[in-house]
Structures are given as structure tokens and as C-alpha cells.
Amino acid sequence: MRPKVSILPARSVTSSTTDTLDVLVRISTPVQEAGAARPPLDLVLVLDRSGSMRGLPLALAKNAAKLVVGQLGPDDRVAVVAFDHRVEVVAPLQEVKDLAQLESLIDTLQVGGSTNLFGGWQTASRLLLYGAEQGRLSRIVLVTDGRANVGLREPLIIGEHVAQAQTQGVSTSTVGVGVRYDENLLETLAGTGDGNYHFAERPDELEDTLQTELASLKATLGRRVSLGLRGVKVKDALNDFGRVHSGRLALPPLRAGRTLDLVFRLIVSDEQKLALRLAWDDATGERHSEHVMHTFLAVPQGFNELEQAEVVRVREGLLAARAQRTAAQLADIGDLSGALLALSSIRNRLQVESLRSAISLTSELHQLGEVERRLRQNNRSAASKLARKQSYAKQSGREG
């Protein structure tokens, strides 16, 4: 099943000039056919059982873990790792042949002491790397409500380990529970690990969060996805993607039935050509590529052309995500007025663009409002975490 790549400029190029133009690149992955086999999963759930998880948080984390284990298929494998200041392999990597036994092992978890977060992740990565098999999707899902205070703690160094595992086929998603965890660390792990970054503000959101993560993983059809652009100068990329060694953009995995939207601000002229190359590995590891070319056509100077509504909608959503990240950074240093101003400015822009282009930006406005509400309640930590999570999902193409 090959993805479809389309290119849609916001408008035509103005003739006889070098123009700055917003361009939407849309990558659409087909829905899987009914009954089609998906790649089997190797999943390690890494659960924080430090003292701060005492009571309801750990109980709900265990319930959510059991729910996920019960939804795995006969060819999938799962392991469970728990950590406080120590690390324990609660269940080694195995097929779910005895669900009751796995649930019983998860139920044995009790709260402990400090938080050796890296130790928990490292143990999980070793389980997957040692048991790696061709054609399987390997994912670590780390759930924590705290900050690493034992073992390796520096986000950039931990991120290097996570990135190395990712190049060997092991991706990492993170789930932050409550408002005390280190969002910089968890976002770094997810970003370098080619995974998702979730924020469960309340422990009772864990079940839905882990089910969303599992559904995303089950829908994965392509990995090691990259996109190269040639023929034009890129002034700005509104998404937030890293790069592979070749310099191409590193995109998130291709998921069945999902669309990935990217917006580039290009410097172009009449009849200039944009060439795209999308590349990915299928479930067996075979490399594929798709090539698309677009020629920019011009209109006379002074011609009044409205921007394409779909390009405007996606662009404004990405700009709103960028503004949320700015607001989070300002909130983190205690500048609440600056954070509120950043949100107010982008909200006003969205309202104007919504009317001008006759588009709906209701979802984006709602997200801004939720962050603003927490700021006005002086709940800086929750506001920052929510803003970062929403920004990460939008800019990295991992919504839903």
C-alpha cells in the first residue's frame, strides 16, 4: 500500500518576481483492506512505581497496562518493566498466551522509593534489542509521574541513548501523569525515540491514553520515513522535524488511513520546479520511495488571488502550535503575562483568518483556550505541559 503525496500552493506565484509562498505537502496513507495482516508488535510497558505513584496513580496505571495487554494479538509480544530506585523485569518479553498470569504479575506491583527513569528505559531497550526479529514493530511506552533523581538524569544524554536505540528499530513513547513530571525529559525521549508524547493530567486518563498509543502502533505501515526537497529555497518549515544523516527530513511513521500535513514557506519564481522524494521501510524492512514534482505557475502583478483555504487551515494550525510552545516557555520562567499575550495574539489571528478564508479553526481555538484557562488559574505547570503536548502532536504530525 503506497502513500499518495500531493502538493498544494497557497496561491500562484507573482510573475517577474521572486515570491515567498506557503506550500502544503500532504501525505495520505490508504486504509488497510479488511482482514489485512499487520506487522506483529513487540511492546514493553515501563511503569513508574516510585513513592509519588502511591495510591490511585499506580492502581490506574496497572489497570491501564492490563487493558493494553488484553488487546494484543496472538502474534504480538509484551514485557513489563517497573522502576523506582531499582529496576525489575516484572514479565519478560513473551506472547500473551496466559493473560491471567500476566495480569497477576502486573497486580503484584507495589510503590517503592526514588525514580531511576533511565534505568527503567534502558532495561526495556535491552529486552527489545536482544529479542529483535525482522518484520516486528518494537516500542517502549514509559509511564511516569515524576522526575528522574537516581541514575542518569540529563535529558540530552538520555536522548542520545534513545536515538541510538531508534536507529536499531526500537522506538519510544512517553506518558506524563499529573503535573510534577519533567516534561522536557519526556518530550526529548519521545522526539529522539520517534514516538508519541502524551500528557495524562489526571490518572483516570491513563486508560484512554494507552489505548490511543496502542491503536497508533497497530496502524503503522511504514517506518524510517524521510522526505527530501529539491529545486527551491526553504525559508521556513512550520512543522518541527529532525533530519536523517542525508539531510532529509525525518518524518513520523506512516499509519493506515492517516494524513500527514506539512507546510513549507518557500522562495520561488515563475516556472520553478519543486521535486519531492518520500522514502520509507515497509514491515519487512524493504525500502520504497515515491517521487513527485510540481511546477509553480505565475499570475500578473496586481492580480488579487485568494489563498487556498486548505493551506490556510493547516498553516494556521501549525502557527498556533508554535505559539503554544512559546507560551509554555514563557510560563516556565514565570512570565504569565507574556504567555497570555502570546496566546491572545495567535487567537486573534486565527479568528481573522477563519472569517477571511471561510474555514473552521474551532479545534485550534479550543486548545488555546484550555491552555489560557490554566494560566489564568495560575496553574503554570499544567498549562505548560498541556501546551507542549498539543504543540508536539501538531508539529510532529502525531495527532490522534
Give the distance between the most distant pair of CA atoms in the chain.
73
Q: Measured between alpha carbons, how far apart are the two ends of the chain, in Å?
A: 21
Other Cβ atoms less than 10 A from the Cβ of 269: the count is 16
Strand locations in 29-169 (E): 41-48, 77-83, 87-95, 137-144
Residue 38: the pLDDT is 87
Residue 400: the pLDDT is 67
Residue 297: the pLDDT is 87
Consecutive 10-residue averages of pLDDT for the chain (400 residues): 94 85 97 82 97 95 96 96 98 96 97 96 96 88 95 96 94 96 96 96 95 94 95 96 92 96 95 95 91 91 86 98 98 97 98 95 98 97 97 92
Strand locations in the chain (E): 4-9, 13-14, 19-28, 41-48, 77-83, 87-95, 137-144, 170-177, 197-200, 220-230, 233-237, 249-251, 254-255, 259-268, 273-281, 287-295, 298-299
